[in-house]
Homo-oligomer: A and B are copies of this chain.
Amino acid sequence: MSSNSFGKLLTVTTFGESHGPAIGCVIDGLPPGIAIAPEDFRQDLERRATGRTRHTSARREADEVEILSGVYEGMTTGTPVALLIRNTDARSKDYGRIADQFRPGHADYVYWQKYGVRDPRGGGRSSARETTMRVAAGVIAKKWLAERHGIRVRGWLSQLGEVTPEGCDLSVVEDNPFFWPHAAQVPALEAYMDALRKSGDSVGARVDVIAEGVPPGWGAPIYGKLDGMLAAALMSINAVKGVEVGDGFASVAQRGSEHRDVMRPDGFESNHAGGVLGGISTGQAVRCSVAFKPTSSLRIPVDGLDIHGEVVEVVTTGRHDPCVGIRATPICEAMVALVLMDQALIHRAQCGDIGEVTPRIPPGPVEGDG
């Protein structure tokens, strides 16, 4: 029941502080026979990496993943896979001034209140650096889902501050630093971010993730529902303030006659549900949205408190993202992939004897593919 673990059969435990010696994770429950090599982690870690563009924080980590266990001759053996990344670019001096300060909008004050002590170096455990290990673990889950079930998990930015996409073409998402699904808007986004950075302020972002190819039947009612597990996993990411499945909050103003997705032998007619009904996958694309708040580390001065209860002026001068949501895209993908793989194993355990159940309805159209 470690609070630093998630997943029931595929359990990921992470550890490490932003400026400690290392961060790492232990991934337990992986089936044997999955090919894993250190270089497999590179692509997604780079997608997540700070320092990729001028629009994200300047911290540069090599982020070299060392596989400490669970892999023999390049394949998982069924024993726990431990991954380790040394912290090589932890400039603690950047943070020295704030050791005794509680920055508004940060976890400083609450860690202090909870534990009576806190590691102030770079946010300690509350730093988004922890999400590196989620991405690494997610790489294995994505691989297994793709190879074993033909599932593809992908995310994109569906809102940046007040800007929304003017179109949705998922094929362009990886071609720009914003994971943005409409190429024509990218120059405007560059300008938007430059102005924002110049102002010293920050904005929030919205990330969408879909998983295509998920078969019907995954998710374990009532308290292990697929959407419930997705909500927990996504809400656990730093700076997340909201999670939607399918039409989410837009469902509130819909009529039932509009929302209910008609099933036909040749496929679902729509996907307002986001691929989940009653907590179980329908066979359609599983679709979630995640709201990221604007980061609270700003160059704009603000009043904070210190540990003596005195008001102090807080200015963040370290490396920070003006929009943490941008590089959260691969983190969200990773969490969705890990939840799906866990649910796949749970489903197999209870219902593994059941063959394919008929009738099976094709998924219908998928957003962003045309």
* Residue A64 lies at the interface, judged by CB distance under 8 Å to chain B: no
Q: Are B348 and A352 in contact (CB under 8 A)?
A: yes
| B263 near A305: Cβ-Cβ < 8 Å | yes
A357 in contact with B130 (CB, 8 Å):
no
User: For chain A, which range describes its interface: under 10, 10 to 19, 20 to 34, or 35 or more residues?
Assistant: 35 or more
Q: Establish whether residues B69 and A20, one from each chain, have CB atoms under 8 Å apart when the complex forms.
A: yes
Q: CB distance B235 to A228 under 8 Å?
A: yes
Chain B interface: which of A167-175, A184-192, A272-280? A272-280
Q: Which of B26, B124, B235, B240 contacts A26 (CB 8 A)?
A: B26
A13 near B2 (CB under 8 angstroms)? yes
**CB <8 Å contact, B242 and A117:** no
For A40, the chain B residues whose CB sits under 8 A away are none
**CB under 8 Å from chain B, chain A span 123-165:** 124-126, 130, 148, 159, 161-162
Closest B residue, CB atoms, query A5 = B223
Q: How far apart are the CA atoms of A345 and B114 in the complex, in Å?
A: 13
Q: How many copies does the complex hold?
A: 4
Q: How far is the CA of A279 from the CA of B4 in the complex (A)?
A: 12
Contacts of A319 in B (CB 8 A): none
Closest residue of B by beta carbon distance from A222: B4
Do A236 and B222 have beta carbons less than 8 Å apart? yes
**Could you list 21 A-B pairs, sorted by A, with CB under 8 Å?**
A3-B222, A4-B28, A4-B223, A15-B79, A16-B68, A17-B69, A32-B350, A32-B351, A113-B283, A114-B217, A114-B347, A204-B251, A206-B252, A231-B231, A232-B235, A241-B249, A244-B291, A251-B291, A257-B300, A258-B294, A260-B298
A sample of 20 more A-B contacts (CB under 8 A), given A15-B81, A72-B117, is: A2-B29, A17-B79, A32-B116, A32-B350, A33-B116, A84-B84, A104-B260, A109-B216, A114-B218, A116-B354, A222-B236, A223-B236, A232-B232, A232-B235, A249-B289, A251-B292, A252-B293, A255-B294, A256-B296, A349-B352
- List 4 A-B pairs, minimum CB-CB distance, nearest first: A107-B278, A105-B260, A3-B224, A309-B359
